[in-house]
Structure 1
Amino acid sequence: MLSVRGLSKTFGPKRVLDGVDLDLATGESLVVIGGSGTGKSVLLRCILGLETPDAGEILWRDRPLAEGRAEFMDEFGMLFQNAALFDSLPVWRNVAFRLLRQMPKARARDIAVEKLARVGLGPEVADLYPAELSGGMRKRAGLARAIAADPRVIFFDEPTTGLDPIRAATINELIRGIVDETGATAITITHDMSSVRAIADRVALLDRGRLRWQGTVAQMDTAQDDYLRDFIAGRARPMARGPALDLAPDPTLGRE
């Protein structure tokens, strides 16, 4: 469904993506892992068209994504890291934001309530405002919005960030269930290894802007790559010795 070929992106002197090649099969759930600043979010932003890569191409169903951008935009859903709900709109209008452009208000609300139920939120939540929801409820409302239009591909940006382990497990279970039920293709970026194990069909590890390793969860657990093993175990790696610290601002700040 989606292919990335030789994707590169720099911000000033910093190369964030350095020739990334990646394929995503129809109906597959891919989880991209890696440390902060390794290019995960920039990869996602390039696919979504929020950043323009310096080199390489992105193919959507075997043709350049730029040629099929309108079709792609109609078929994708997105769960943002902090839900990104519109504070001034009630929850049901947040969920139905895209639908309200396509159908009568009453029908859009019905679908919104249905999708809220799918993520475990009752109809009484529909008329509340985001500020009245807990963090876990906002995340679930964001997930309901992501699936409101029955997308064929869904992006999940750090879906469990800021949640306690129980609520994080609930979100992981919801995501896996939705992917299985709908047959949607999914890309998730995360640092949370619990999410990886719950969501992934395949895992890709980014390191310094390059794809260092990819495989199934079972293959991940037996891989001999030292960096991958340390990442899975959460082990600190030795700091490289070198000249005095460079305290210049990071040009990728806010992108990863």
Structure 2
Amino acid sequence: MIETRGLSKSFGAHKVLDGVHLGVARGESLVVIGGSGTGKSVLLRTILGLESADAGEVLLDGEAASPAVRARFMRDFGMLFQNAALFDSLPVWRNVAFRLLRVMPARQARARAVERLARVGLGPEVADRMPADLSGGMRKRVGLARAIAADPSVIFFDEPTTGLDPQRAAAINLLIRGIVTEAGATAITITHDMTSVRTIADRVALLDQGRVRWQGSVAQMDEAFDPMLRAFVRGEPLDWGPLAGQGRQG
């Protein structure tokens, strides 16, 4: 359903994506992992056309992502941005129902928004609050409610559990997994949370220095011998040469 072929993107002299080949089948949940600055968010933004690729191509449903193809793709698409990206001038329910208000009466859109808020653990009293009145974790959950408001067939999640307590994070992970399983949605998730990976992923891809270093199932991930993958999965510290171990002195 989504494919990148040789996707490359640089900012000045810094190459962020360096020939990324990656594909996501319809109804599959792909989780992209990797250290900070390895190009994960840029990959999502380039697929969406928010960044223009320097080389390579994006295919959506087997077609090159021309403006017309991408516009058609976006009609059935939802996204949770890393910082939630709420509209500060709109109350919560209008944020959640932003797309719905174009196709249904306000009363019906509000009811759908309240129902989606309940799915992410927020009560109806939150609907009329402004984003500035919410905690970071609550803003993230409102962003997730907006992402799923129109029951999209494709959803991107950029760090969906960042800023949430462990119980809320576990609930969000299960919700994402349920959306993929029950609705047959196609999902790409970026996360550093290995608990999220194990709950959400059908397949995992490790980005390193702008390239796909490894990809496979969660079971294959646990058995893989790639040293960088094993260190990431286990949360082992990076080896920074002469700097390594300085914190252990004294």
TM-score (norm 1): 0.90
Equivalent residue, structure 2, for 1:181: 182
Deviations 1:99-155 (A, max 9, x none): 112222122112112212222222222112223333332222111100111111000
Q: Which amino acid aligns with 1:41?
A: S
3-state SS of the aligned residue for 2:52?
coil
Taking the TM superposition and a 5 Å limit, the aligned residue runs for 1:14-33 are: 14-33=14-33
Equivalent residue, structure 1, for 2:106: 105
Q: Which amino acid aligns with 1:239?
A: W
Equivalent residue, structure 2, for 1:145: 146
* CA shift for structure 1 position 61: 0.5
Say whether 1:34 aligns with 2:34: yes
Can you give the 5+ residue segments of structure 1 that lack an aligned partner in the other structure?
A: 242-256
Q: Which amino acid aligns with 2:44?
A: L
Q: C-alpha distance in 2, partners of 1:15/1:82?
A: 24
181-190 vs 130-139, greater mean Cα deviation: 130-139
Taking the TM superposition and a 5 Å limit, the aligned residue runs for 1:205-220 are: 205-220=206-221
Q: C-alpha distance in 2, partners of 1:169/1:114?
A: 20
Q: C-alpha distance in 1, partners of 2:135/2:163?
A: 11
Q: Which amino acid aligns with 1:21?
A: H
Equivalent residue, structure 1, for 2:245: none
3-state SS of the aligned residue for 1:128?
coil
How many residues get paired? 242
Q: C-alpha distance in 2, partners of 1:169/1:110?
A: 26
Q: CA RMSD, aligned part only?
A: 1.5
3-state SS of the aligned residue for 1:44?
helix
Q: Which amino acid aligns with 1:25?
A: A
* CA shift for structure 1 position 184: 0.7
* CA shift for structure 1 position 19: 0.6
Equivalent residue, structure 2, for 1:94: 95
Equivalent residue, structure 1, for 2:246: none
* CA shift for structure 1 position 51: 0.5
Q: C-alpha distance in 2, partners of 1:85/1:19?
A: 32
Q: C-alpha distance in 2, partners of 1:32/1:152?
A: 19
Deviations 1:5-35 (A, max 9, x none): 0101111111111111011000100000001
Equivalent residue, structure 2, for 1:238: 239
* 8 A Cα contact 2:48 2:70, kept in partner: no
* CA shift for structure 1 position 239: 1.7
Q: C-alpha distance in 2, partners of 1:167/1:117?
A: 13
* 8 A Cα contact 2:205 2:216, kept in partner: yes
Deviations 1:18-59 (A, max 9, x none): 111011000100000001111101101101111000000100
Q: Which amino acid aligns with 1:179?
A: V
Taking the TM superposition and a 5 Å limit, the aligned residue runs for 1:1-256 are: 1-66=1-66, 67-240=68-241
Q: C-alpha distance in 2, partners of 1:8/1:83?
A: 26
Q: C-alpha distance in 2, partners of 1:100/1:145?
A: 12
* CA shift for structure 1 position 193: 0.9
* CA shift for structure 1 position 181: 2.1
Equivalent residue, structure 2, for 1:244: none
Q: C-alpha distance in 2, partners of 1:76/1:89?
A: 21
